[in-house]
Structures are given as structure tokens and as C-alpha cells.
Amino acid sequence: MKRIFVLLAAALLLGSSQADAQVQTVLDGAYVKEHNPTKRVVPYPHLREADVMYAQRMWQIIDLREKMNHPLYFPLEEIADRKSLFDVIKYALLTEGSLTAYSLGPTDDDDEFRYPMSQAEIDSVLRPVNSKPTEDPDTGDIIYVEVEEPVNSRDITQYQLKEDWIFDKQRSERYVRIIGIAPMKEDYDDEGTKRGYKTLFWLYFPECRYVFANASVFNFQNDAKRRTFEEIFQNRMFASYITKEANVYDRSIAAYARGIDALLESERVKDELFTVEHDLWHY
């Protein structure tokens, strides 16, 4: 009888420990997916300054509400085999420490990677603590309590890219090198009115490549051939619009054009880039 009691107690302890650990003992799929998790980053081709025949710096916005950009936005909650782009970035910043975030500086518009953020600063941006009014259960008075409101994937609906468009005369090829990427969050005032978008921080994209190369992205055509975030960006498989080109005034398109005029100006800049590339060729 004593032996039976000991066996039952051991079985209960083993069952509870397995339930707490939530260890998966079966393969959720037909085969082990190991291609993307072990993929290595393909280095950029060497580029000499003497071979750069033309270069132009651009800033673009990726709006995740567009259908083509949905693989960057979903899933809103992390699942076993994939994450959203922001969840990949957040995990690399908070858990792995494999990425460096750069703040916007004293002017809140610096994008030159001059102000590396400490871990405490990253926590304050991704896990902000705000004062929220609430009713005191004892007195009925309105009091303010500190509440942590972490930034989630659903909050990030835009990304800003900083790019260099380069024509290499040695290879007769145009390159688009992404220099930086910045997640942007919708900003609201105390009354809940939207005030626009707020850039959280900048990331140096060549450093991000090593993280993005191992994170899978949903493929609409074939679930067996999932791409990575690195491939999405390098192959330009996203929709975006230009918000600024390098200019003597260092001003964005929004500084002199609004609404449909800003979109038309963005298209004009794109057409100019295409024309420059086309005119560099001789037939």
C-alpha cells in the first residue's frame, strides 16, 4: 500500500512539473523546418567610392496597413513558427541584446546613429510607465496610479527607412542599400485624438540583417517556401512611399506639400530615380 502511494505521488509531481514547463513532446508539422533558422547573411558586394557614378539618399515610409505589407505586421501575437517584425526587433533588444537602438537625440529628429540607447532607456520606450486616473475604492476620489503599458506589435503600424540609391559603374548595377529602419507608433493626446506618428528609435540596418535573416515570414503562395525578413527587404518585397530626398534645405516633402500633393511629389521623385538610372545606360 505504501509503495502504491509513493508511485501515485511521484506521478502527480511529474505531471504537474510537465504542465508547468509546457514541454512540447510532438512535432507540430510533417517535417522539421531548419532552413531559415540556420540561414547565414549574404555579405554585400564590395563597393568602391571611385565606382559610384550616382548616389541619392532617400527616406521612405512602409505602411503596414497595406495588404502587401501584412507579412511584416502579422501575427499580432507570437506563434510557434513566426513573429511579426516588431516582435523580432523587441526580442533582439530586450532578451538577446543583439541589436543597438539609437535615440532621436535632443531634437527628436536625429537619424544619424549618434546616440546609442542604454538598456534602461530601451525599457522606458518599450515598457513605458504612465499615470492613469482611477477611482479609489475606499474614498471614491480620483487618484493617479502608475501603470506599465508595453508597446505591442499591434501598436506599430509604420516603419521608416533611410536608404542610399547607388549606381555602380563597375558592375553596371543599381543598388538600394538600406542604412536604417525605425518603428513608428501612432501618437495620441490625453483626449484620445490622433496627433500623427512617433518614431521610437532607429536601428542600424546592416546590424539588423543578422537578426532578420533567421526570422521567417509568411508566404502567400507556398507555405513550404517561407522567406525571411532579410529577403523581404533585400528583394524590395514591400510597398512604400518617399517622404524625403536629400536636398539643400534638408526638408521633407511634408514641409511643402500636403495630402494628394505629397503623394504626387513622392511619385515624381520615384520617376526621377528611374529616369536617372535609364539615362546612365548607352545602347
pLDDT at 133: 79
Share of the chain above pLDDT 70, in %: 91
11, part of any domain = no
pLDDT at 218: 94
pLDDT at 18: 41
pLDDT at 191: 74
- Taking the model in full, what pTM does it have? 0.86
189, part of any domain = yes
98, part of any domain = yes
244, part of any domain = yes
16, part of any domain = no
Model confidence band, residue 9 (pLDDT cutoffs 50, 70, 90): very low
Mean pLDDT of 159-165: 97
pLDDT at 14 over 50: no
21, part of any domain = no
203-220, pLDDT tens digit by residue? 999 999 999 999 999 999
User: What Cα–Cα distance (Å) separates residue 117 from each residue in 114, 129, 178?
Assistant: 10, 18, 21
pLDDT at 277: 80
Q: Which residues contact 107 (CB under 8 A, 6 or more apart)?
A: none
26-62, pLDDT tens digit by residue? 888 888 888 888 889 999 999 999 999 899 999 999 9
pLDDT at 22: 62
CA 110 from centre of chain: 18
pLDDT at 100: 97
67-77, pLDDT tens digit by residue? 999 999 999 99
pLDDT at 157 over 60: yes
17, part of any domain = no
236-276, pLDDT tens digit by residue? 999 999 999 999 999 999 999 999 999 999 999 999 988 88
Domain ranges, residue 213: 57-125+155-279
pLDDT at 85: 98
Model confidence band, residue 99 (pLDDT cutoffs 50, 70, 90): very high
Model confidence band, residue 81 (pLDDT cutoffs 50, 70, 90): confident
185, part of any domain = yes
CA–CA separation, 213 and 142 (whole Å): 49
Mean pLDDT of 121-136: 88
Residue bearing the bigger pLDDT, 224 or 117 = 117
Task: Indicate the number of domains in the chain.
Answer: 1
